[in-house]
Structure 1
């Protein structure tokens, strides 16, 4: 016989999760959230996952939501457990990834009286959420009706905004009272609102009078429809489309590898290659150089297309277009002229020159972090979901083509703290293989991302271990200080072998190019357990190889 929580607020919450199709719930252990754990684990419709570390748990939920493309719920006990969600909440906020955050709390009159595991949880994530809701305690007047309305509103905001929404749930003791039957709840009238878009003819006129049109695509999931629309725009060489690895666009006429082309721009180049109309799509871009370029370019017009965000990243924003890129370009294509542009040819000549230099440098470069990313695209199976950690990993990935893989990276806040957990969460809900490529510091920082029983056996992790945060040898500034080794890049002599064994992963280590190529041929094949490949480049001057690469491109 099933036994559900007797808490009416939790019964209502479970019912509404089911009604809105939120079937996946991450639960971290605790007593105050025991009513949620008891109730959800007894519901046939819900898939419950136990993740001990709340910081990791929230990133796992983020990865699941990215994989499913719909909200995932995450539940914890009261106190610092709720605060540990914050890094993933900020990441979800800036990525527009829908998380429903369910924090159990002490009764409201227990706050600020030094009761155990009690902090100020109400509105805890207010600066980085799309809605903050507080339930009534079951004993309060009209609690059932109010809580039904509050939870319904919270869930609908999560769908509408496609971002994190917080429900704080004060729970009085006793916490472990159970019932075997649930009440009948009223049918739900769903009132999710989606934004409407009216196309302005002024935009078409602005396009048609612009001579140098650039479209820059930042972080976003693959969209076949958007790929087709943008392909129409470049068919006659009408516009320049810049993309990054995690823009997930693949057309051969789009300009990837932005830093390869603009890294050594002079002041004259900034003017020569500048657009007069800039259109931006998607979330954050990785390239700091392209931000510097476009801020100096000062385009006459800048449109940003997004349903939620309209940041003035380049200090030139003139149009906030509040819709999806697919809806916008579907309208735009009906009204614009697509004529060959000398501006495209200007960039195309630059691309040919730099691509030849790139190929020449690759031939002359030996085993290193750089070489790993050169070799990897040719060894990855098709349709693998490729997760890249932050710092140097995603910067290396920008220099090479991954034509058959979707690429993901936590560029909302660009932190290293949850890359492993996010990738593992994605893997748990994906039928296709997930591969994480990560630097050593990011991997060690987030080892609790491996602490669960749900990672599929076809999951693969590649850790390139260069003995510290090598990014700080690459970017200008840190190497001028005595604090570099110990306090900034944190040099170390650790490896991943014992961690792999501890968490039940297969393990292989390579420290030369020939072995790397040989091992990669079998690394992605089916096995009974997930695997880690450690690429040891601690004896290599990786930072110098990358710096020399950009010098060579001049």
Structure 2
């Protein structure tokens, strides 16, 4: 074990203590970007047999790559960078990690405060850069024998725990390092080395209480109508307790696309197809539930929150292990700050026996929507409907934002079911970083990964295409190209003809040459049959593959208009 300690100088010694403590705390994957100030960390990570280096030159791409890893594994991924603006490139991914309860640690090298204050080269105030978007931060100061090695290691253990309890999220470890940054030798007192070897061996364990709900007191025998809503939670969550609750639930339920359960149930099971369709909202308004039990985070549907505002007599009970306010409608009556799965495991025992009949019959509505989709051209609704039939069971479906995620949220099958791990960036709904994140998700496990994103989102992440060939399990990338930000054509703002072009940002690009530049397999499709053929071939080949799906935006808008006019 002593070999884990680099002893050439104090900077290398501290770096190896820090890296070893992170590994002891469960960190395995270190997403490294090159630099000189972080050279001691590079040496320490390379020297540790249980640390895995994933190299990338673009800090922004690396941060999303780590985010994708942490989302699918539930384990803390480590970002390592040099001083200066490097860590600022992490900001969008850090914000998403905070809002989506994804564990990350930012290990940033810094220059000592005297250099920062004096305006030395490549310096800025790095402490507290991420502000409220990290759950904890720690700056141990420059390496010195005046600071105990035990202080260093136990403080890092504490920081890791802050990133995992009571909710998961990012933390920041900012480490000022003085020269020498290379392996030039400097004398380290024998006593300090002995203290360091001791700190290397000891382990700090945190035994956190389980966030179970207090005793529940609901008399369901008197309830005539209650709506169960399941929103997003940690992707790595075991959904068994939530799934069992849904199966025993006597009343309507709605599963958000980000819940990880939407495609495990269908209309025949009693699922509500969409909370954005006028007919569904009309039925719910005519027979409003007495209670809504909302387990998990914020839904994709904005009409759900308008429905809550329009029906103030419904008692809303929300459940999530997130201390921040999650109440866009300002309607929560009771809040349980505990994990949705823990709540479900207790709530199920209070439910009466399951009745066989459906509360609402949505078959006619869904059948009419399917007929319109099948008879129409290649559009977002036909793509999402078809992909849900083709995507492999127990695989990862990584969904981009804007129209992509809404399209998948709006579809619910009549009788098909499929267990999928749906990964998303709905923390703050940004459109950047998806290619890198899907590479992180693929590299962290062996299940097939399908990434679906829009053209503008793709253009935001071009530099991440270089990661695909080095990813052991690269995603199949499906780009829906409708020549710009087509989502604005589906919103009321579309009536403002003067400003709409500035929002759509048409680009008139095709992505074939970009695929060739990075050595990727490529197909351009504009028919559902050729999409199926090329997608299934890409899954089988398991090579970096980009499929560009050409969609006419006017046809897409027309299909959405037709779908919204469907009556029960």
TM norm structure 2? 0.88
Work out whether residues 112 and 141 of structure 2, in 8 Å CA contact, stay in contact via their aligned partners in 1. Answer: no
Q: In the aligned structure 2, how far is the partner of 1:436 from the partner of 1:546?
A: 23
Q: Secondary structure at the match of 1:376?
A: helix
The equivalent of 2:317 in structure 1 is 303
Gaps of 5+ in 2: none
Q: 1:84-483 residue pairs with structure 2 within 5 A? A: 84-139=89-144, 141-142=146-147, 144-160=149-165, 161-177=167-183, 183-186=196-199, 187-197=201-211, 199-201=213-215, 203-205=216-218, 207-220=220-233, 221=235, 223-234=238-249, 238-249=250-261, 250-252=264-266, 253-259=269-275, 261-262=277-278, 265=281, 271-309=285-323, 311-338=326-353, 340=355, 345=359, 348-349=360-361, 351-401=362-412, 403-452=418-467, 453-456=469-472, 459-483=475-499
1:380 Cα shift?
A: 2.1
Q: Which moved more, 1:130-139 or 1:332-341?
A: 332-341
**Distance (whole Å) between structure 2 residues aligned to residue 204 and residue 239 of structure 1:** 19
Does 2:557 correspond to 1:543?
yes
Contact 2:161 2:206 in 1 (8 A): yes
| Secondary structure at the counterpart of residue 275 of structure 1 | coil
Tell me what 2:513 maps to: 498
Quick one: distance in 2 between partners of 1:118 and 1:102?
A: 16
What is the aligned counterpart of 1:44 among 35, 45, 49? 49
Contact 1:261/1:354 (<8 A) preserved: no
Q: Is 1:484 aligned to 2:484, yes or no?
A: no
CA shift for structure 1 position 226 = 2.5
C-alpha contact (below 8 Å) 1:60/1:422 kept by paired residues = yes
**Residues 9-59 of structure 1: CA deviation (Å, up to 9, x unaligned):** 212111201212211110111111121112102211100111211111111
- CA RMSD of the aligned region, Å? 2.7
Following the alignment from structure 1 to structure 2, what is the Cα–Cα distance between the partners of residues 501 and 314?
A: 47
Contact 2:94/2:133 (<8 A) preserved: yes
Are the counterparts in 1 of residues 65 and 439 from structure 2 also a CA contact under 8 Å? Answer: yes
Question: SS at 1:493's partner residue?
Answer: coil
Query: Which deviates further from its counterpart, 312-321 or 499-508?
Result: 312-321
Moved more, 45-54 or 504-513: 504-513
Deviations 1:152-197 (A, max 9, x none): 2111212323111111111112211267998523343433242345
CA distance in structure 2 between the partners assigned to 1:489 and 1:456 by the alignment: 36
1:63 paired with 2:68, answer: yes
SS in 2 for 1:318: strand
| Number of equivalent positions | 542
- Alpha-carbon deviations, 1:296-337, whole Å to 9, x = none? 222543222222345223322222222222222222233343
1:261: Cα distance to partner?
4.3
Distance 1:276 1:179 in 2: 72
